Structure 1
């Protein structure tokens, strides 16, 4: 995978994460207490949906951080090299996830 291909994949994934944030905004909204129209179980369901949406938001934030770090490594000419041993990361691994920071050996050891 070339650096240009990696950059394009990473930026496209950022756009997808932004779209996922937009779509899930309603699910992350605070659950209001409406005793007259919503029963206790419905409110509990809404709270569970909110908790799952917030967990997904945290996962997207973590992925954005990994993508940002990968883009910085691209800018610095360090992308594609293992942060553990300094060796090149296998192309197949980078194609699967251009934001990876470690080769297979170092990822398995840590």
Structure 2
């Protein structure tokens, strides 16, 4: 999702959020095929994916509320990483890793913009 219209200071965060969204959607699909105990993981992934998509959209537009959404993204991605890490499925482990990277990039952006 490369664009000259997006400020370069947002690029790493946008890329991490995009990767996280895709990993969450993939993990959710895998959770649907898993056992009933994975329902919460699937739900968390749906929420996380939607929030990451919103974060990408707002950062891409330079919205004045983007950083507040990044702060919420940190919270939700942290929770999603913790939930996904409970399961041995490859999609869950990839999702947990992507969520952790998203948290790091969102934290860096929020700190830099504060």
Greater relative contact order, per chain length (Cα 8 Å cut-off, separation 6+): 2
Determine if the TM-score, normalized by the shorter chain, exceeds 0.5.
Answer: no
Normalised by the size of structure 2, how large is the TM-score?
0.40
Max Rg structure = 1
Normalised by the size of structure 1, how large is the TM-score?
0.41
